[in-house]
A and B are shown apart, each in its own frame.
Chain A
């Protein structure tokens, strides 16, 4: 009798499990690895809508940017199959695309209108003309400045300032007695933090990472000019301890009214004009600066994009999600619920043609900054690489992290600029030789 009951119970359990499995088969689940940025979090909030429309469930794995990079790199190189969609940037996409690690996004629907993606973003997320990741939001860099302090100083910010003007304005707005720094810039070590900023600053002084034979160029006068200018500017008018300041630290300073100017990512515009900013009503925007006589400006190009790892079992569902999350309809959905200032910027041309979005104070400057960045021609002299604030080769992240550590040590006064440049030259050449480029 006991055995019979046990068998009955087991059969019932099996039936329940099988029903569950069948039900699960009817509603597939995709897993998305992403970063904890405002726009991404907002997207997670609308996921239920996607599930309701398509019947596809979505699981999110949200990680800190560097952890995410390590996590998805491990998974994709070993074909672990943990994720159906990965949030990756403009640095990884062409490299991973060329390695065959990503599913080409060359069959997106006509409704999706792939030609509407901003050309700079599309090029940066493609390899050999094939798109491998769809941009969720894109950014360049620009000058954000305090209009009230500029007015008080009797200066007017040009649309396209030079570094020399930036220094003049920083001197005029610097007010240590009132805890106002003339300028706030990144100095924190890390290829995506201070490394990115000093690379674009170098571009705007005519410096480059490599010549056409992949020889490091830190021994050239342009790098010395760029670094000396940056260090003098920050020592004279920057915040104390700037060598450890990154995006968040400067955002915090600017929002508290402690910076006259801040040159950083265009996505910061919505933060500094948002509710948490004490200076929201006094912020103006200008193109990133250049040194006098140099055509290239210090603006970078970046996108957080959604890509599908090769080998996923849910390719069709993943594509469906990407089409939904990076569509014109999604932008309108966010605009309708949270206002145009909060839509993911920098991805689609049509967004900048929308009259309501044109009224957003930073919209045009963001577009102009993105358009001024050309990853295939980042600096004055020709280079063998693609990328503005990075060099799109797998070895770059490691090399640039080390180089930026040397630079940060120079900012902190632990070594001279000459020493930092010498070390950067040696580190880079050694790594490139070991990797077989030279």
Chain B
């Protein structure tokens, strides 16, 4: 009897989980479906779900009009570059906060997070002027730096949480065996924290990939990533929803695939330390 109740509950829970999952995924699914419709079918009422004439025309138009490869390459460089640079800075920072905390460590952590509370537009002009002076406007290097700075508080916080789970005694033992600080970080701490570092990397990569304020405001032609590619298909005067959906699908496809293959690491990293 108890077994039957458990199975029933399991079934219900699975059903609820699937329903929530589908609800969350529905906008993406709808975008993908719309990308295969004609513009007239895209606005049809009642909406057409799968019973329409599927077409690849929108993808053809988008590929013809835009240099997708250039936008994609810029996204990879900006998201990848900022993630690597962020980790290089965040690993030592998180180490010091986790293993050599001071009286002010918690205040510093909170202060770092508080920088995320400032609306980006508030610092647009100072950053823009700085970029003009440094010749960084519309450059991938500039975007890598900005993206790294934006996501650095999150990276440090995440790594700090993972590092706190690692017993300090292990590092102490390494030190007693003669390991230098550099060796301790590279050969002891990093391998032990690889799941946490991997999920931090993935999350940061996704955040940088999707960031649309700075990437739109600090780029023009050379460094414009996929967010600019999507923005170029949004129109206030004219119905181009099918083309916009095709562009959006092309922009999210790489990150969707990456997320799909790395979901185990992502879930593991995000729930690390949640249950003790």
A interface residues (Cβ-Cβ under 8 A, vs B): 31, 33, 35-38, 41, 44, 59, 61-67, 70-71, 74-75, 78-83, 192-193, 246-248, 251-252, 255-256, 258, 265, 267-268, 271, 276, 278
Contacts and interface: CB of A to CB of B under 8 A. Distances in A.
Nearest to B234: A64
Which of B44, B125, B132, B220 gathers most chain A CB within 10 Å? B220
A404 to B, nearest CB: 15
A255 B238 contact: no
Interface in B163-212: none
Given A80-B132, A255-B43, A256-B45, A61 B236 contact: no
Contacts of B217: 70-71, 74
The DSSP consensus for interface residues of chain B is loop
A83 B221 CA distance: 10
Best-surrounded residue of B45, B137, B233, B239 (most CB of chain A within 10 A): B239
B228 interface: yes
Nearest to B233: A36
Contact of A276 (B39, B65, B216): B39
Interface in B44-71: 44-45, 65
B238 A63 contact: no
A37 B238 contact: yes
Contact of A80 (B65, B137, B240): B137
Contacts of A251: 238-239
B220 A256 contact: no
B129 interface: yes
A63 B231 contact: yes
Nearest to A278: B40
B128 interface: yes
A246 B44 CA distance: 17
B224 interface: yes
Given A35-B235, A78-B125, A192-B236, 8 more contacts: A38-B237, A63-B216, A67-B216, A74-B217, A78-B128, A82-B137, A248-B238, A251-B238
A256 B65 contact: no
Contact of A65 (B65, B129, B236): B236
Given A63-B228, A82-B137, A82-B138, A246 B221 contact: no
B220 A83 contact: yes
Given A44-B65, A276-B39, A61 B235 contact: no
Nearest to B40: A276
A181 to B, nearest CB: 12
Interface of A is mostly: mixed
B216 A71 contact: yes
B61 to A, nearest CB: 10
Nearest to B236: A65
A192 B236 CA distance: 10
17 contacts: A35-B237, A36-B234, A41-B65, A59-B221, A61-B220, A62-B233, A71-B217, A74-B124, A78-B125, A78-B128, A78-B129, A78-B132, A193-B236, A255-B40, A256-B45, A268-B237, A276-B39
A350 B130 CA distance: 47
Contacts of A44: 65
Given A82-B138, A82-B220, A267 B237 contact: yes
B221 A61 contact: yes
B93 to A, nearest CB: 32
Nearest to B240: A36
A115 B137 CA distance: 39
B232 interface: yes
B171 to A, nearest CB: 44
A82 B236 CA distance: 24
A70 B213 CA distance: 11
Contacts of A271: 238-239
Contacts of A255: 40, 43, 239
Nearest to B230: A64
B239 A36 contact: no
A153 to B, nearest CB: 23
Interface string B127-151: 0110110000110000000000000
A321 B228 CA distance: 24
A252 B132 contact: no
Nearest to A62: B232
Contact of B128 (A80, A193, A256, A258): A80
A252 B43 contact: yes
A408 B237 CA distance: 20
A228 B39 CA distance: 36
A61 B65 contact: no
Contacts of B237: 35, 37-38, 247-248, 265, 267-268
B239 A31 contact: no
A399 B221 CA distance: 33
A74 B125 contact: yes
Nearest to A275: B40
Contacts of B239: 248, 251-252, 255, 271, 276
Interface in B7-37: none
Contacts of A258: 45
Contacts of B224: 61
A192 B224 CA distance: 27
Contacts of B137: 80, 82
A180 B137 CA distance: 51
A32 to B, nearest CB: 10
Contacts of B44: 256
Q: Which of A66, A246, A271, A276 has the most CB of B within 10 A?
A: A276
Nearest to B224: A61
A71 B125 CA distance: 11
A156 B221 CA distance: 52
B45 A38 contact: no
Given A78-B128, A255-B43, A38 B231 contact: no
Contacts of A268: 237
Contacts of A246: 236
